[in-house]
Structure formats: C-alpha cells, structure tokens
Amino acid sequence: MRDPGSGSDGLIERLGSGDRTTRRLACDEAIERLPKDAGLMRELVRALQDGTPSARFSVAFVLFHAGRPSLRLLPTLLDALEFDDGDLRWSATHMLATLGRMQPEVLPVLLDEAHASTRPLRRRMALYVLRELAPEREESRAVFLERLDDPDLEVRRAALSSLAKVTEPDVSCVDRVLGILSDDPDPRMRRIAAVVVPDVVAQRPETHESARQALTRAVETADRSLQRAAEAALTRLAEASPDPGARG
C-alpha cells in the first residue's frame, strides 16, 4: 500500500490529520505549492479518491481555493455535509453553493439530496445550500415547502428559515408560515415563523393584514421569546406596508 505521505513530504498525511491547526496549515501549504508542483497535483487527485474523509475534504478545500473547483469535488463536499464539525459543514455548504453557480449540474443533485436523502443532517444542510445557491428557483421553493413536513424537527426548522430567502414567495408560502406561527407545537418553529413573516409577505400587500393579526396574537402569548420576535416583525411589517392602516 502506498505511504499516504510519500512524494509530498507528508503533506497528504497532514491534510488528513485529526488536529484542526495541522490541517489548516497543511491546506495553506498545499495551496501555495500547487501552482508550481505538478507532482503534488497528482497526489491530491489520488487522495481525493482514496484518502480518509478528513483528507478528502482538505483536498477539496485546497483544490477549490487554488482556483480549480470542478464537479470532481462534488461527492466529497456532499459527504462533508454530515461531518460532526459544524465549521466544516458550513465550509462545505458555501463551497457547494459557489460550485453550483459555476456548474449547473449541481442544483438537481442538491434538490434530490434535500428531497430524498435518508439522512436528516444531509437533508438539512442541502436546504441551506439551496437557500444560498438558488432561492429564486421554483424548485427550491417547492422543496422548502415540502420539508416543512419533514419527520426531523431540525430539517423543518431549516426549511422554514429558508423560506425567508425565497425571491418570489407565493400564497402557499404565506399560508404555511402563518399557520406555523399560530399553531405549531414547537416553540422554536413559531419563533422562526415570526421572524420569517415580513419576508414572505413583503411582495403580497393583500396578505399584510392577515400577517399583522397573526403577529399580534403571537405578541399576546406567554412565550417571551416569541413575543419579542413578533414585536420586531410587526415593526418591520409596518415599515414595509404601503397601507397606513396596517401600522396600528
């Protein structure tokens, strides 16, 4: 078996280190060396296929930031959405969104992950990528609405927060958010809904009064966090409303 550090002064091995600082320094070194070291490029490509999950992600990070993002990074970045380390998950999220702007093949893959992955964390993080990558797409809006009924609560919360970024929310978005604000059994879902309300009704003045009433009821609940979120949302709604009567 090939020594993972051979031919690169142990760099590939350090890219897969369990120590975050070691990995970070190895990534910086690889990015600096890559333009003038063809042998290193070959080592990185092999590690992207055969390395440990940590090493594969570090290699993807190096290739991405060295100006070589391509579809061959996609499987590794998707797998990184399930890392225990939240910082690495979010790094993968941002790289996937950027890769998706460059490569149209990425969007349908992410939609499928959000819709059909059997792993809740993967569905949740795919939603966050879609929120950043394509909030204007009808397909994104549809999957955000679909995942509001996800059996995993964290996925539901991600879907709800993602609706705030939808470019043209339709009436179904408004109805779902107001329904969650009024009736959802999870207090955090109701608080997220309060925050999201002004965004989903912004382009639909005909829904402002219903939104104002729902937020007013939320202010009257015993949940202090919900009260604060609803009060802030009422202020935003009043500022955005062209109808003076909605400023009450």
My answer on whether 64 and 90 are in the same domain is no
Question: CA torsion sign, 200 to 202 to 204 to 208?
Answer: positive
The backbone region for 117, taken as left when phi is positive above 0, alpha when psi lies in -120 to 50, beta otherwise, is: beta
Rg (Cα) of the chain, in Å, rounded? 22
Domain end among 166, 197, 216: 166
Domain end among 125, 144, 166: 166
Query: What is d(CA 47, CA 17) in angstroms, rounded to the nearest whole number?
Result: 13
What pLDDT score was predicted for residue 246? 43
Query: What is d(CA 159, CA 127) in angstroms, rounded to the nearest whole number?
Result: 7
What pLDDT score was predicted for residue 240? 83
Spans in the chain with pLDDT lower than 50:
1-7, 245-248
Number of domains in the chain: 3
Q: Is position 3 within any domain?
A: no
What pLDDT score was predicted for residue 247? 41
Separation of CA 93 from chain center: 6
Domain with 221, as residue range(s), is 169-248
Q: Where are the alpha helices (DSSP H) in 9-69?
A: 11-15, 20-33, 38-50, 53-65
Q: Is position 1 within any domain?
A: no
Those residues with Cβ within 8 angstroms of residue 191's Cβ, 6 or more apart along the chain or in another chain: 223, 225, 226, 229
pLDDT digits (tens, 9 = 90+) for 40-67: 999 999 999 999 999 999 999 999 999 8
Cα 75 to Cα 14, 66, 113, 139, 189: the distances in Å are 21, 18, 12, 22, 31
What pLDDT score was predicted for residue 234? 98
Q: Is position 244 within any domain?
A: yes
Q: Is position 2 within any domain?
A: no
